[in-house]
Each structure stands twice: as structure tokens, then as C-alpha cells.
Amino acid sequence: MDHKTLYSYIEPVIALTDDELALLMSCAKMMQLKKGEQLLKEGEVCSAFYLVETGYLRTYYDRDSVAINMNFTFEGDFTANLKSYRDRKPSETIIEAGEDSIIWIFNLREIAEQYDAYPQVSRFIRRLAITQLLTAQEHSALIKLHTPAERYRHIEKNSPQLLQRVSLSQLASYLGVTRETLSRVRAKNN
Amino acid sequence: MDHKTLYSYIEPVIALTDDELALLMSCAKMMQLKKGEQLLKEGEVCSAFYLVETGYLRTYYDRDSVAINMNFTFEGDFTANLKSYRDRKPSETIIEAGEDSIIWIFNLREIAEQYDAYPQVSRFIRRLAITQLLTAQEHSALIKLHTPAERYRHIEKNSPQLLQRVSLSQLASYLGVTRETLSRVRAKNN
DNA sequence: ACACACCTGTGACCAAAATCACAATCGTAT
DNA sequence: ATACGATTGTGATTTTGGTCACAGGTGTGT
């Protein structure tokens, strides 16, 4: 993939000049992952943002070997562990491929000293962060305001691709219920 | 309150020059609120960040006249409705005083065109946003990973002032349980 | 086609929390 | 001190979702 194609993922977030794009590219590398391979392990410090080109990434807590999913990131979207990134603290979550995936890793820590000279790059990162975190806020509201059946219908309506690509068991922990409950919710909804 | 005192709230977030501080002050005004008065109403577009000088602010959804609390902001902390602010969309949440309060309103929209000349101010705002949103992410994890009793103990340990200043009923919806359940949790914990 | 691993559906049962109802307590203003 | 409203505690009951157990499906690789 060349700069031009990569820019097609960045441009919807912010317009960049060639110089700015070059700076970003200087810290980017591509990686192929098999389903289940981990991009960020528990205890590692996150120093990059990840862009999904194909496949998807799953962010989850490992509670006694049971995955509690917090986020799914699909083609064209960015993710990271912002808390670990900002505070340079070990990550409590794992980010791994939910399918065989092609991922772009932007090691932003490498270029952090150059932000001042490239304010648009700084703004780009800020927008990624805000978008990611608004998503978390909405997810929190979804769980606090709605019943399991309502949560499922919300996903059906607003993120139907989740239902296509994520297994019911994975979706269950994302919605804060067991897989049995979600299976029954789905049975009644038809 | 003069600039110097106000700066004591800003400085822990970021160091600013006199010029930068002056820009921020140019969009700031102080407001006194009685308990229960609303700072941001449902349906309004949020165009400011709020700093609590005394008292506290409560952010909640009104579901059929029942408050579902999402956040409490105490002395020295900032809050806003970032989603409404960024997208210029009507707020789905209400921000109101939980006690008689003194609040500083920073109408950041007024000074947005001047950010480019004051990158530190821009960075200041970004930090506020990230902090606020990491809080939301942690809250989401608290509810998804823990039982009601564990959530209560987490608050006891990590945010004891919530227990001092927020009524049990208000805290209950924040923790995603009914007030009765929280009352029983508390009874057993002693 | 077969075995094997993984995922989903479903019933029986159990536990936890919600709901409903009302009593007790606390706080504030008069 | 009293009255009023708001808040909290608590019992009885219902509902929901979790847990356990197992059957049926699906998909992959050999």
C-alpha cells in the first residue's frame, strides 16, 4: 500500500499536506496478523495507534481467562489504549485480531517531539482520541440505560456489521450479558 | 476571584504564559448556582467547559423523569458534554448543580479561531477532554467487570468523597443499581 | 467422509437484583 | 419543638438473568 491509499483512511479525519503525511508515514509500519494474534499484550505500554486495513481488532479484559470485550475496530478505523499511552502505564486490556487482519501501526511516540512543528498532525491525533473515547462514553450509556434486549436491538439497528462478523459469544460480553441470555434475546426478537 | 487564583486550577493541567491565560480568561465567566439549577439543559448545544470552584456538578440522563447519573465533577475539576460540543448536537444529558455551587464557564467556542496562535491553549483543552473521557472508559469497565458490591467497595476505596457528598439514591444510578440494592450492599459491608 | 474443535440453542434450576409497599430517619424551615 | 419533605432501610414478592448441563450445528483440516 502506498501513501496515497493510506491517506484515504486519514483524510476523512483531517486533511494533511504532503509534509505532514510524510511525518506520519515515517512512524508507520504494516503488519499481518492471524486471527487471535495479539497486537498489544496485557502489561505492555501502548505507544502506538492502530489502523485496521482489513479484518478487525478486538479490545478486551482478560478476567480469569474469560474475555470481557470492550471494543471492536473495523476497516478504516483507528484504535489504541489511550490510558496506557498517555500515562505510560501497563495496559490492562489486550488488543488482538478478531480475524486474519492487516494492520497499520503508527508509533506516535517516535514523532511526539515534532508535533509542535506540525500542528495538523497533533490535531489529527486529538481527533482520533476524541472519537475513540466518545464511543466508550456511548457504550457506557448503552449499558446503563437499556435492558439486554434493547442493547441487542440497538446493535442490530446501529452496528449491524457487528452481528455479521463477531460471534454471539463475543458480542455477549460486549453487551454485558452471558451468551445464553443473548441467544434467548435473539430467539424472541425474530 | 482573580486570574492568579483561577490559574491555580489550570496549572495542574498545563503551564500557561500570561498571554495564554489572558485568552482563556477572555471567554470565562463566573456563575453561582443553587442546588438543582441546570447549567446545560437537555436539547441545548454545549459550547463551554465548566470548572467547579465550590460545590459539585452532576451529569445525568433523564429517562422518564428518572435521573441516571453518569458523572460527578467536584472542586478543581472540569466537565462538559464533549459529544454535544464537538458535533454541535443537542445534548442528551443534563448538567446541574448537586449543591449550591460556584462555577466558571469557559465559552471555548468564542476563542476557537485563535487556537492556532496559542497551541498551549489547544493542548490544555485536549488534556481536559482526554481526562474526562478516560474517566468514562473506566466507569464503563467498572460496571461491566464488577458486581454491585464490588462497585460500591471500589467507590469507597477510590472516590470516598462521593459517599460523603452524593446521596445514596444518586449514587445508585451511577453504579447501575437501584437504591434498595445499594442500601443492602452497604448494610452487609459494615 | 470423518474427526475434532468451536459455537449456538435450550431446558432446568438458582441466585441476584428489581419492584412494590411502607416504616423509620434525617434535615430544614418555621 | 414541630411539621414537612426528602432520603434511607427493610420485608415480601416477582422478575430477570446467571449457572449448569447437554444436545445439535458448523466449519476446518486431514
What is the CATH classification number for the domain harbouring A11? 2.60.120.10
Percent of chain B scoring above 90 in pLDDT: 87
Coil, strand or helix: which one is B49?
strand
Pair A95, A162 in one domain: no
Q: Which of B70, B119, B129 sits opposite A116 (nearest CB)?
A: B119
Pair A99, A158 in one domain: no
Cell numbers given for A43:
502489561
Pair B48, B105 in one domain: yes
Q: pLDDT per residue over A90-148, tens digit each? A: 999 999 999 999 999 999 999 988 888 888 998 899 999 999 989 999 999 999 999 99
Pair A67, A155 in one domain: no
Helical ranges in chain A per DSSP H = 3-10, 18-26, 82-87, 119-145, 148-158, 160-165, 168-174, 179-189
User: Of B104, B107, B81, B97, nearest to B33 (Cα)?
Assistant: B97
3-state secondary structure A38-84: EEECCCCECCCEEEEEECCEEEEEEECCEEEEEEEECCCCEECCHHH
How does residue A5 score in pLDDT terms, banded at 50, 70 and 90? confident
Helices and strands, counts by H and E, chain B:
8, 8
Pair A94, A169 in one domain: no
Query: What's B93's DSSP letter?
Result: S
Neighbours of A28 (CB within 10 A): 20
Query: What's A116's DSSP letter?
Result: G
Establish if A16 belongs to a structural domain.
yes
Q: pLDDT per residue over B8-45, tens digit each? A: 999 999 999 999 999 999 999 999 999 999 999 999 99
Question: What is the spatial distance between Cα B130 and Cα B128, in angstroms, rounded to a whole number?
Answer: 6
Residue nearest to nucleotide D9 (CA to C1'): B183
Cβ of A66 < 7 Å from strand C? no
What are the start-end ranges of the E strands in chain B?
28-33, 38-40, 49-54, 57-63, 66-73, 78-79, 94-97, 101-106
Look up the domain containing A184 and give its range.
146-190
* 138-167 on A, CB < 7 Å from strand C: 167
Query: What's A101's DSSP letter?
Result: E
Pair A102, A13 in one domain: yes
Q: How many domains does chain A divide into?
A: 2
Pair B162, B122 in one domain: no
C-beta of residue A102 within 8 angstroms of C-beta of residue A75: no
The Å distance, CA of A190 to C1' of D6, is: 45
Interface contact A141-B63, CB threshold 8 A: no
Q: Indicate the average pLDDT of chain A.
A: 93
From A101, A129, A157, give the residue that closes a domain. Answer: A129
Pair A121, A161 in one domain: no
Pair A181, A121 in one domain: no
Q: Which of A61, A122, A137 sits opposite B83 (nearest CB)?
A: A137
Pair A118, A177 in one domain: no
Establish if B172 belongs to a structural domain.
yes
> In A, what residues contact B, Cβ < 8 A?
61, 63, 68, 70, 82-83, 86, 116, 119, 122-123, 126, 129-130, 133-134, 136-141, 143-145, 173, 176
